Structure 1
Amino acid sequence: MEQFMSLNHGSHTEASKDQSTEARNVIIHGLRIHHCKAQSPGNVMGPEGKLVTLGHTDGDAIRLVSSYKIWIDHNTLYSGQDGLIDVTRGSTNITISNNWFKNHNKVMLLGHDDGFVRDKNMKVTVAFNHFGPDCHQRMPRVRHGFAHVVNNLYKGWGLYAIGGSMNPSVTSEANLFIAEKAGKKEVTWKKGYNGGDEWNIHSIKDVLENGASFSEVGDEKDLIRPVYDLDQQFKVVDARSLPALTGSSGAFKCTKKSRC
């Protein structure tokens, strides 16, 4: 049966959309971001030409803090000092789609730290992305909240591909995991898991190749099938179609004579 889902999480709670929300309704599209380095505190140009003081930054390519309804689409990210995408401190209703992640250690962090329980309200969709070559871990790493990881291509991983801590919920659906011949085979990593019934990491119609394995946790009755709005629909395809589907992942290569 064909399944259609929206990139917007309109049916989810808007508990995080309060006075502390830093940004909302933003699209980050068509960028190449690489070799980011940590920076000491300093001033940057803010809205309306005003100087804004920023604290220390860790060298993330894209960092979301207390943000709502952000769409990160068709970007190429690699070789940073810290993470490529961090979704933290109560950010929710985030879509990360059609991006190319490569040559990086800690790729994608969802959830600030183990003690930041507000991230229990976090909802993130990770769809149509290409991970690899040479991505080591965090594709994504989830704390507290929920991630729907759907129709992504994984070309090998180092420590793990999908992992988390603090009772995360992850629905991995129709992804293609291709383990490297001499690399790690297990897809998942679960820090601190001791059989707790609040953990939910499930695999639906994933394809595992070259010996890849996926260790599920949680009761099948608690598997989360997200409910999406109908204003922006996409079809979940068979995982074997992902090499072709993700062939255009990343920033578009546009010229003056071409249309993107």
Structure 2
Amino acid sequence: MRIRQVAVVGALLGLLGVPAHAEARDISRDVLAENDGWAWADGGTTGGSAADDAHVYTVTDRAGLVRALDGGSDTPKIIKIAGTIDANTDDDGDRLDCADYATDGYRTKKYLAAYDPRTWGSAKPSGPQEEARQASAARQAERVVLPVGSNTTIVGLGSKAVLKGGSLQVKDADNVIIRNLELRDAYDCFPVWQPNNGGLGDWKTAYDTLWLNGATHVWVDHVTASDKGHPDEKEPTYFGRNYLRHDGLLDITGGSDLVTVSWSRFADHDKAMLIGNGDTVTGDRGRLRVTLHHNEFESVVQRAPRVRFGQVHLYNNRYVVPEDAHDYRYSVGVSTESAVFAENNAFHTPGHIEVADLVKSWNGTALHATGTLFNGYPVDLLTIYNAYNSGSERDLTADVGWTPTLHTKIDSADAADREVARGAGAGRTP
């Protein structure tokens, strides 16, 4: 279907989850409010608000979205997504599955037979099946990788706007806004086996639902990101490891800077959010400044977030660990030279999870944590963590070397917990 540069009104509003009697507020030219986190620094974040009428698009399929994104151009643009867009479709809109991408003789069974550690050993995969995997993966990437350029606003219309199977990638771009959109199931058809990863080997996947790489001035608001449709926990086990199909929900790497993530929901996923992608990437020093506020992390195993180097303000967020969470690892990861300032966050967990389990440290030394609620009770997260891990991990200090000044009103953890439960995620934009 072609791009329609028109307002969506009347009957279409009903299809998008907006009552016929309601007048939906147009949020497409909204800019980040004053002092709303790090993305307000150094000039603020305005996205595509300056776009002329010729660069305001309403899209309903992958082909229209690709045309509107214009290869990641820097031209100011506003892209409104209506209904569900499936990235795994051809130019005619027909659905593509993994078999359609497979080429050069790639087959999962052949790949597994070729690189079984019992016969292949611990060397990096090479040869015909790995080459076929790479060629197949490249074919999928042509469809699902969607580059977002500078001066762009992407918004979902109504309460049912979904991008399925795609990976929005903001690479080396500045001034981007993404709001009111469900990002679902960035499914990798062709994971690669890495024999030496973590000592036991592991499967590595290619796509984040949203990836900021060298991006600056980015506001992510009222987004819902999940593995809905293909949870990794239901995938098989090969070589003793879960055959992962998803990477991060929102990864912020490659020296990205000045980012605000607000009123969003991250759910049903393993590694949700990575800020800083390597202990040796010292070029990230002074960057990776991120604000996370009024977000919900539900059924997330780890990385909510995990931080390297960055100055991260983490306030008024809600964490929900389900009763049947047998694989929960941690929520806040404190890694090399990170400086996390956490205020008034609320955690809900089952009985087998302790307060000290909420934090994990890898070479990290600092975590400021005040106003924390744990299953409705106030706790001193840092003191409990240090006491529990005494002798096994270095103590964390509350002095992170900075104090946030760019933020909206910070509510009590109890009040924020209720508000986030009601208002976070796509379809709930005020």
Using the size of structure 2 for normalisation, the TM-score is 0.47
Q: 1:179 to 1:89 in 2, by over 3 A?
A: same
Aligned-partner residue type, residue 171 of structure 1: F
Q: 1:69 to 1:57 in 2, by over 3 A?
A: farther
Aligned-partner residue type, residue 91 of structure 1: S
Q: CA deviation at 1:68?
A: 0.4
Higher relative contact order (CA 8 A, sep 6+): 1
Q: 1:140 to 1:201 in 2, by over 3 A?
A: same
Q: Is 1:81–2:246 an aligned residue pair?
A: yes
Output aligned runs, 1:110-259, within 5 Å.
110-120=275-285, 121-132=287-298, 134-156=299-321, 158-185=328-355, 186-193=357-364, 199-209=365-375, 213-214=381-382, 215=385, 217-228=395-406, 234-246=408-420, 247-252=422-427
Q: Is the 8 A contact 1:39 1:59 kept in 2?
A: no
**1:52 corresponds to which residue?**
none
Q: Matches of 2:397 and 2:266 in 1, distance apart?
A: 32
Aligned-partner residue type, residue 143 of structure 1: R
Q: Deviations over 1:51-73 (max 9, x none)?
A: xxxxx971210000111000011
Q: Matches of 1:109 and 1:154 in 2, distance apart?
A: 16
**2:238 corresponds to which residue?**
none
Q: Matches of 2:400 and 2:185 in 1, distance apart?
A: 40
Identity percentage over the alignment?
Answer: 26
Q: CA deviation at 1:210?
A: 6.9
Q: Matches of 2:219 and 2:335 in 1, distance apart?
A: 25
Q: Is the 8 A contact 1:5 1:235 kept in 2?
A: no
Q: Deviations over 1:92-120 (max 9, x none)?
A: 00011111111100000000211211222
Aligned-partner residue type, residue 248 of structure 1: G
Q: CA deviation at 1:74?
A: 0.3
Q: 1:57 to 1:180 in 2, by over 3 A?
A: closer
Q: Deviations over 1:169-201 (max 9, x none)?
A: 1011010122222335421000135xxxxx221
Higher strand share: 1
Aligned-partner residue type, residue 174 of structure 2: R
Output aligned runs, 1:5-20, within 5 Å.
6-7=36-37, 8-10=39-41
Of 62, 65, 79, the residue aligned with 2:210 is: 62
Q: Which entry has the higher C-alpha Rg, 1 or 2?
A: 2
Partner SS, residue 149 of structure 1: strand
Q: Deviations over 1:180-228 (max 9, x none)?
A: 22335421000135xxxxx221102122227875426544454531222
Q: CA deviation at 1:242?
A: 2.2
In the alignment, structure 2 segments of 5+ residues that lack a partner are 1-33, 44-170, 191-203, 228-244, 387-394
Q: Matches of 1:159 and 1:221 in 2, distance apart?
A: 25
Q: CA deviation at 1:253?
A: 5.8
Q: CA deviation at 1:244?
A: 2.2
Q: 1:95 to 1:253 in 2, by over 3 A?
A: closer
Partner SS, residue 113 of structure 1: coil
Q: Is the 8 A contact 1:180 1:210 kept in 2?
A: no
Q: Is the 8 A contact 1:29 1:74 kept in 2?
A: yes
Q: Which moved more, 1:66-75 or 1:114-123?
A: 114-123
Aligned-partner residue type, residue 162 of structure 1: V
Q: What is the count of residue pairs matched by the alignment? A: 219
Q: Deviations over 1:29-82 (max 9, x none)?
A: 111111112378xxxxxxxxxxxxxxx971210000111000011011111711
In the alignment, structure 1 segments of 5+ residues that lack a partner are 13-20, 41-55, 194-198, 255-259
Q: 1:223 to 1:175 in 2, by over 3 A?
A: farther
Q: 1:208 to 1:184 in 2, by over 3 A?
A: closer
Q: Deviations over 1:119-152 (max 9, x none)?
A: 22210001000111x1100000001111111100
Aligned-partner residue type, residue 190 of structure 1: S
Q: Is the 8 A contact 2:367 2:397 kept in 1?
A: no
Q: Is 1:99–2:260 an aligned residue pair?
A: no
**1:25 corresponds to which residue?**
175
Partner SS, residue 31 of structure 1: strand
Q: Matches of 2:346 and 2:417 in 1, distance apart?
A: 9
Partner SS, residue 30 of structure 1: strand
Higher helix share: 2
Q: Matches of 2:360 and 2:318 in 1, distance apart?
A: 18
Partner SS, residue 118 of structure 1: helix
Q: Is the 8 A contact 1:66 1:88 kept in 2?
A: yes
